[in-house]
Amino acid sequence: MASREDIHRLIHRPFTGKQVLSLFLDMSVNSDNKRTHGVFLSKQKGRFSELDSDREGHHREALGAAFSRVEQWLEERFEEANKGIALYAEIGSDWMEGYQVAVPLQNRLEIAERPIIGPLAEVVESHPLYGVAIVDRTSLWLLTLRSGQVQSEQRLAAESHPAPHEVQASGSSHEEYQNRKEQERRNFFKEAVRELEEFDRRHRPEYLIVLGTEENVKLFTSDLGPSVQEKLVYTAAGPGEARAAEVVERLLPFFGRRKQEKETRALEQLHDRVRQRHFAAAGVQQTLEQLQEGKVDTLVLARDLRNAGGQCQQCGFFLSRHDGACPYCGGEIRDGVDIAEVMIRMAEEQEIPVEFVSQQALADMNGAGALLKFQPHSGLG
Ligand SMILES: [Zn+2]
């Protein structure tokens, strides 16, 4: 699975002079229970005539060697529980990175100077990192989850207690026994809260979920400090003894609901603001412009947006449309730039949240809009 740190690392990977092959694959099975990425891959290889003279095992072409490494990676590393793959391989060197994700990615192959990060950024942005705490009187189990995949797992257990018969033997009453049990629980929860806070600092989940009996959840969460408390988005009856996969299974409907709600909220807010001409950008050109001026607060993009534009060779400005020369400096423009990729890259660099929404929902803005930090000077269009 990928994280924001991975995206940033890929963005800031310096150009080595060699091109990078970026490959995204849908690894889900079809109705015949088969994966079809092999068909896509061979079709893509067919696009490169230089591979005709290339031979397996004795690559004359660096591209052929890169494809071999990719295929080998898929064969050796792919885990069947995943549905999407993002692979990066530098052509002419050994550099390679692969990510497996729980959601299918649209098949796509690109060769460019830099790794294409759009599809991976979409997964990371649309599937936040959740921290899950499963608590009972004597144990705390902590998980981090992203898009239904367990990223990390740790446990804390209370020190063992004397068995009830020993308590009876020492002559204490039932009430004393109950009080002592209660004290033990409170002591353990104090320790568990410290553990959760440390976990939060280390993994930095965006949201937290606490599972357990109603009473345990109430007691445990009331001890949480404000920084952790404000990340708490969901509590529910605990799974008791369960495997991580069962916990994930139980939480999937909640994750789906949250994702849908977040998307709907972003769209409503954008449409409201555009209507009121208040701190909003609409359309690819205006959004791109505001993004380059560092004025965007939240970027809203249609999934799998494909929009070709250009970049000024003199001042570096990106343009989704132009009439031959740069409107800012008159410089020459290089066409064929993937504008969606450019926008996602800029948003990630500026650490701006990106909301990915359905193409249909944003068709009125040609697939791009933004909530702004400032009121733009130009009119909306
Ligand atoms: Zn220019």
pLDDT at 56: 64
Asked whether the predicted pLDDT for residue 380 surpasses 50, the reply is no
For residue 153, give the amino acid letter.
E
- 320 C-alpha vs ligand 1 centroid, how far in Å? 13
- Average pLDDT (282-295) is 96
Strands (E) in the chain, as ranges, are: 20-26, 84-90, 96-101, 108-112, 130-135, 139-146, 149-157, 207-211, 232-236, 280-282, 296-302, 308-312, 318-319, 333-338, 354-357, 368-372
For residue 319, report the distance from its CA to the centre of ligand 1, in Å: 9
| pLDDT of 171 above 70 | no
Distance 13 CA to ligand 1 centre (A): 25
CA separation (Å) from 165 to 171, 174, 185, 252, 288?
10, 11, 19, 43, 72
What is the distance in A from the centroid of ligand 1 to the CA of 376? 20
What separation in Å is there between the alpha carbon of 289 and the centre of ligand 1? 13
* Pairwise CA distance, residues 212 & 229, whole Å: 16
pLDDT at residue 296, rounded to an integer: 98
| Burial of 157 (C-beta count, 10 Å sphere; 0-12/13-18/19+) | exposed
**Percentage helix, strand, coil for the chain under 3-state DSSP, each rounded to 5:** 40, 25, 35
Q: Where are the domains of the chain?
A: 4-126, 130-242, 259-372
Residues 6 or more apart from 369 whose CB is under 8 A from it?
Answer: 270, 274, 280, 281, 282, 283, 287, 300, 362
pLDDT in tens, 190-234: 999 999 999 999 999 999 999 999 999 999 999 999 999 999 999
Sheet with 333-338, strands from edge to edge, namely 318-319, 308-312, 333-338
The alpha carbon of 5 and the centre of ligand 1 are apart by a number of angstroms equal to: 31
Q: How confident is the model at residue 25 (pLDDT cuts 50, 70, 90)?
A: very high
Say how many Å lie between the CA of residue 325 and the centre of ligand 1: 8
Q: Report CA(210)–ligand 1 centroid distance (Å).
A: 52
312 CA distance to ligand 1 middle (Å)? 5
**In terms of CATH architecture, what is 130-242?**
2-Layer Sandwich (3.30)
**Can you give the pLDDT at residue 167?**
52
pLDDT digit string, tens, across residues 77-130: 999 989 999 999 999 999 999 999 989 999 999 999 999 999 999 999 999 999
Burial class (CB in 10 A: 0-12, 13-18, 19+), 111: middle
The whole-angstrom distance between residue 53's C-alpha and the CA centroid of its chain comes to 40
Read off the tokens for 264.
Answer: 């709907």
Supply the DSSP symbol for 230: T
**What is the per-residue pLDDT for 39?**
94
Q: Are 27 and 82 in contact (CB under 8 A)?
A: yes
- Structural contact between residues 179 and 203, judged by C-beta atoms closer than 8 angstroms: no
Ligand 1 centroid distance, CA of 337 (Å): 15
Residue 317 C-alpha to ligand 1 middle, in angstroms? 6
pLDDT in tens, 133-156: 999 999 999 999 988 888 899 999
- In this predicted structure, the answer to whether residue 189 has a pLDDT above a threshold of 90 is yes
Cα 313 to averaged position of ligand 1 atoms, centre (Å): 7
| DSSP code for 47 | T
Residues, beta carbon < 5 Å, ion ligand 1:
312, 314-315, 317, 326, 328-329, 331
Work out the mean pLDDT of the chain and round it to a whole number. 91
pLDDT at 314: 95
Residue identified by tokens 């050796």 is: 76
> 10 Å Cβ neighbour count for 323?
7
Res 168 pLDDT > 80: no
pLDDT value for 357: 96
Distance 381 CA to ligand 1 centre (A): 22
Q: In the CATH scheme, what is the homologous superfamily, with its name and number, of domain 259-372?
A: Ribosomal protein L30/S12 (3.30.1330.30)
Q: What percent of the chain has pLDDT over 70?
A: 94
Ligand 1 centroid, distance to 278 Cα (angstroms): 28
| Paired residues of 210 in beta bridges | 133, 235
pLDDT the model gives residue 12: 94
Q: 381: pLDDT confidence band, cut at 50, 70 and 90?
A: very low
Record: fold of 4-126: 3.30.960
**Ligand 1 centre and the CA of 318: distance in Å?**
8
